[in-house]
Structure 1
Amino acid sequence: MHPWIENVALQAPTTPITVLPPDPATTVVWRMTHAGESDVLIAGPRTRAAYHTSKDLPVCLRLRIRPGRALPLLGAAADELVDRTVPLSDLTGSSANALAGRLVTYKDEPEQAVEVLGDFLLGRLPRRLPDRLELVGEAAAELASEAAPRTVGETAQRLGVSERYLRRVFREAVGVSPKHFARITRVRTVIAHARRSWSDAAACAGYTDQSHLIADFRSLMRVTPEAYATGRVPLSTC
C-alpha cells in the first residue's frame, strides 16, 4: 500500500472542534455511526481550512492518497474533486456500497479495515499506469521538501520538462497548482511545528520572514496564527 497511500489515521474526537487544515491530498474516508450505518467517502484536495463541531463517531478511518495517484485508484482526476466530498459510489458504482457493508465487520479491527479498503482500491488499478505518475510524484516531493524547497521553475528544469507542462499535468493529477501545493504544504509544516515560536516555525517551513508566514496562514487557514493558537476559528454552519 505504501506506494499509493501516504498515511492512515484512525480519528477520534478529542476536542469540541475538528480542524481540517488545507490539504493537497485526496483522502478516502470510512466512517460508521452508533446506529451501525457505514459509508465510504472521497474527500478531494482542500484549498482552505475548515472547522466543524466534532461528531461522536465510533469509527472514522482516513487513508490519505499520495499526491498525483488519485486518478489510477479512483478513476477520477483530482482536479474534479477539489473542495468536494463525494460518496465513493459516485466514482465506482454499487461495489462501494457492498464495501461499506463489509467494513462493518471490522469496526473493532482498524488494521483489517485498512487492508480491505486497500485491496478494493488496488483492485481497480488499470493495467497501464499514467506515464507522468512518477514525474508528478517527484515534483510533489521537491516542492514539499523542508530542507531545500524549490520554486516551480527550478523543479521543472530539474525534471527536464517545461514549467507550463509541469503546471498542467500537476494540477490535473494533484488537483491544485504546484505553487498552491507548495503554499499548503508550508502551512501544514507550520502547524506541525506549532509548539515552537512562530519565527522558528516559519524558518522550518522555508518562509523568508514571519510576515510572509502570517499572510499565507491567514489566506489558507482563514484566521491569523494567534487566533488559531487560541481557538478563535470560524465554525462551519453546515
Structure 2
Amino acid sequence: MTPWIEEVGVQYDDGSTAGDSQVLVLPPDPATTVVWRMTAAGDSDVLVTGPRTKASYQAKKKLPALVRLRIQPGRVRSLLGVGGDELVDRVVPLTELWGSAATSLAAELTEHRDDPDRAVDLLARQLAAKAPDRQGRSGRSELVLAAIEELSAGARVAQAAGRAGVSERYLRRVFIEAVGLSPKHFARINRVRSVLGRAGSWSRIATEAGYFDQSHLVAEFRSIMRVTPAAFAAGRVPVTTC
C-alpha cells in the first residue's frame, strides 16, 4: 500500500444484508476518495469523490463489489493530477482525468470482483504509478502537509501559519488549492468527525472535542451534518434516493 492511501474500505455483497441499516451515511470529509464499483448489471467504473463539505444520507444500493481508497488530504494532485479545489463536493468519473487508462483499469478490476485484496492492490498500484515524482515534494506541499498535521492536532489556523512562517492569507490560498477546503473549514470538519459515534454527555464530549461549550457543538454539528447530534444518534436523518 502506498503512503498516500490513508484508509481502505471494501464492501462485497454476499446477499446477507438482513438487519443492516438501509441508510448510507456519508459524513463530511476533507479527503478525496477513489471508488471502484460494480453494479448488479455487471457494469464497472472508477469514480473520484472530492472533499465533502456537508454530510449526505442516501438509500443503500446493492453492489456486488465496492472498493474505496481514501487519499490523504494534500496528496491529491500527486496522484490524480488535479488539486482538491477542482474536486470539492463533486463526483467525477476517473475517465475525465485519465481517459482510456481509467476504462482499462475498470475492466481489469472486474477480474478481481471476488478477491477484494487483489482489487485494492491493483487500484493502489495504478494510482501510485501515476504520481509524477513519488519521492519529491514541493515547498507548498510541505507547507500544506505540515498545516494539516497541526490542524488535525487541534492547532488554530493562526498558530499553524505562524509556525510555518507564513501569513494566514497565504496559508489559506495554498491550502484551498491542495485540499479543496480552507484551513478553518478543514478543522471544523475534523472536529465534527471526531464526535461521530461517541456516547455520553454532550457537554463532556464538547469539551473533549475542543468546542467552547455544548451549544457550540450543536450549532456546528447541525451546520455540517444537517441534523442535530441527538437526531443523528437516533437515526433521524434526511435520506435521498439518488
Tell me if TM exceeds 0.5. Answer: yes
Measured against aligned partners, the alpha-carbon deviations of 1:198-226 in whole angstroms (never above 9, x if no partner) come to 22322332112111100000000001111
Match of 1:220 among 219, 224, 230: 224
Which region of structure 1 is more displaced relative to structure 2, 123-132 or 93-102? 123-132
Q: Scaled by the length of structure 2, what TM-score is found?
A: 0.92
In the TM superposition, what is the alpha-carbon distance from 1:181 to its structure 2 partner? 0.2
Structure 1, 152-161 or 180-189: larger mean CA deviation:
152-161
SS at match of 2:139: coil
Q: CA RMSD in A?
A: 1.5
For residue 181 of structure 1, what is the amino acid of its counterpart? F
SS at match of 2:28: coil
Aligned residue identity for 2:229: P
Q: Identity, % of aligned pairs?
A: 58
Task: Please name the residue that 1:139 is paired with.
Answer: 147
Deviations 1:144-170 (A, max 9, x none): 12xxx1110101111222211111100
TM-score (norm 1): 0.93
Amino acid at match of 1:111: D
| Contact 1:189/1:204, CA 8 A, preserved across alignment | no
Partner of residue 50, structure 1: 56
Residues 11-160 of structure 1 mapped to structure 2, 5 A cutoff: 11=11, 14-127=20-133, 129-145=137-153, 149-160=154-165
Aligned equivalents of 1:88 and 1:183: distance in 2? 29
Aligned-pair distance for 1:88? 0.5
Q: In structure 2, how many angstroms separate the alpha carbons of the residues matched to 1:136 and 1:3? A: 16
Q: Secondary structure at the match of 1:11?
A: strand
Preserved CA contact (<8 Å) 1:22 1:46? yes
Cα drift, residue 129 of structure 1: 4.2
Residue 27 of structure 1: SS of its match in structure 2? strand
**Partner SS state of residue 115, structure 1:** helix
Aligned residue-pair number: 234
Q: Which runs of 5+ in 1 are unaligned?
A: none
- AA aligned to 1:168 is R
Equivalent of 2:238, from 225, 234, 238? 234
CA distance in 2 between counterparts of 1:106 and 1:4 reads 22
Asked whether the equivalents of residues 190 and 204 of structure 1 are also in contact (C-alpha less than 8 Å), the reply is: no
Unaligned segments of structure 2, at least 5 residues: none
Quote the Cα distance in structure 2 between the aligned partners of 1:237 and 1:17. 10
- Provide the rounded CA distance (Å) in 2 between the counterparts of 1:197 and 1:75: 44
Aligned to 1:51, the other structure's residue is in SS state strand
Contact 2:31 2:51 in 1 (8 A): yes
- Please say if residues 72 and 129 of structure 1, whose CA atoms lie closer than 8 Å, have aligned partners that are also in contact: no
1:207 alignment partner, SS class: coil
